[in-house]
């Protein structure tokens, strides 16, 4: 499943060059030459994963368009990268204030653009085209569908247990204390008791046990927990 990107740029050569680069990199691309056209596409089609918006457009500007998108509750979470010939700090600030998540100053190289696109998609939690699943032994965790399977059998995990398992599978064979798990899985802003970690680990193990793979999540006495294939 590749990410979908809508390119809004009035200059045809640039728009087609952008579409070509993005398609070569594996993205699904749709194109619009005006803000009005892009808005009508957003109303009639499923929301893309990213909007690439040129600042200078005939009619409504890229800034106006971005403000409209960010005020729309259904579209507000779609990240926006602005393309601009204007590198001034004031202009950049104006773009970011309108709700743009990042900007690329023209002229830019395809490589630079792709790096920005990838970074913004990663930050927004959209799965990158190349990494869709993590597998360790009999367990496979699908990042796009949020499904966990053991020998192709689907497990029923709660959202927190899914996040813990994902963190473990991304960092196998390493021991994490309860505090480290709280920071990594719940985030540092959230105030949760360390005991909460034990509760969710217990739930995770219960589901894993039903599939016969509870040994992957190990207690390291006096330290914390570890995900290991060497059970």
Find the part of the chain contacting Ca ion (CB under 5 A) among 29-37, 50-58, 130-138, 181-189: 50-58
Q: How many CA atoms lie within 13 A of 2 on its CB side?
A: 12
Closest CB 11 distance from Ca ion, rounded Å: 5
Site for Ca ion in 5-34 (CB under 5 A): 10-11
Site for Ca ion in 177-196 (CB under 5 A): none
Can you tell me which of 56, 96, 105, 134 binds Ca ion, judged by CB under 5 A? 56
Nearer to Ca ion by Cβ, of 34 and 177: the residue is 34
Encode 124-185 in three state secondary structure: CCCCCCCCCEEEECCEEEECCCCEEEECCEECCCCHHHHHHHHHHHHCCCCEECHHHHHHHH
What the block records as the tokens of 182 is: 């709280």
C-alpha triplet 99, 101, 103: angle, nearest 5°:
105
Closest CB 61 distance from Ca ion, rounded Å: 9
Q: Does 36 bind Ca ion (CB under 5 A)?
A: no
Closest CB 34 distance from Ca ion, rounded Å: 10
How many residues at the interface with Ca ion, by CB under 5 A? 4
Closest CB 192 distance from Ca ion, rounded Å: 48
Q: Distance (Å, rounded) from C-alpha 174 to C-alpha 202? A: 19
Nearer to Ca ion by Cβ, of 84 and 228: the residue is 84
Closest CB 92 distance from Ca ion, rounded Å: 17
Find the part of the chain contacting Ca ion (CB under 5 A) among 52-60, 91-99, 100-108, 140-148: 52-60
Q: Distance (Å, rounded) from C-alpha 133 to C-alpha 44? A: 31
Contact call for residues 151 and 165 (beta carbons, < 8 A): no
- State yes or no: cis peptide before 107, omega within 30 of 0: yes
Can you tell me which of 31, 33, 35, 54 binds Ca ion, judged by CB under 5 A? 54
Whole-number Cα distances in Å, 56 to 9, 11, 67, 106, 145: 8, 10, 14, 11, 37
Nearer to Ca ion by Cβ, of 85 and 230: the residue is 85
Closest CB 65 distance from Ca ion, rounded Å: 12
Closest CB 21 distance from Ca ion, rounded Å: 17
Find the part of the chain contacting Ca ion (CB under 5 A) among 4-12, 113-121, 134-142, 209-217: 4-12
Per-residue exposure over 112-151, b if at least 16 CB sit within 10 Å of its own CB, e if not: ebeebbbebbeeeebbeeeeeebebeebbbebeeeebbbe
Find the part of the chain contacting Ca ion (CB under 5 A) among 47-55, 144-152, 203-211, 219-227: 47-55
User: By the criterion CB under 5 A, which residues form the site for Ca ion?
Assistant: 10-11, 54, 56
């Amino acid at each position: 499943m590749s990410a979908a990107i809508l390119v809004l740029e009035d200059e045809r050569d640039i728009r087609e060059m952008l579409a070509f680069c993005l398609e070569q990199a594996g993205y699904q691309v749709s194109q619009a030459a005006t803000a009005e056209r892009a808005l009508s596409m957003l109303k009639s089609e499923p929301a893309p994963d990213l909007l690439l918006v040129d600042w200078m457009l005939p009619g409504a500007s890229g800034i106006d368009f971005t403000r409209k998108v960010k005020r729309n509750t259904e579209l507000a979470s779609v990240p926006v990268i602005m393309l601009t010939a204007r590198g001034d700090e004031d202009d950049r600030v104006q773009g970011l204030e309108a709700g743009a998540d990042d900007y690329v100053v023209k002229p830019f190289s395809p490589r630079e653009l792709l790096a920005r696109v990838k970074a913004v998609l990663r930050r927004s939690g959209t799965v990158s085209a190349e990494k869709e699943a993590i597998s360790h032994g009999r367990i496979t965790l699908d990042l796009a569908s949020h499904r966990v399977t053991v020998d192709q059998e689907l497990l029923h995990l709660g959202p927190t247990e899914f996040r813990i398992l994902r963190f473990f599978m991304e960092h196998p064979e390493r021991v994490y204390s309860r505090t480290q798990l709280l920071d990594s899985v719940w985030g540092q802003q959230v105030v949760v008791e360390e005991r909460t970690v034990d509760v969710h680990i217990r739930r995770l193990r219960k589901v894993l046990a039903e599939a016969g793979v509870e040994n992957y999540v190990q207690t390291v006495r006096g330290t914390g927990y570890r995900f290991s294939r060497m059970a």
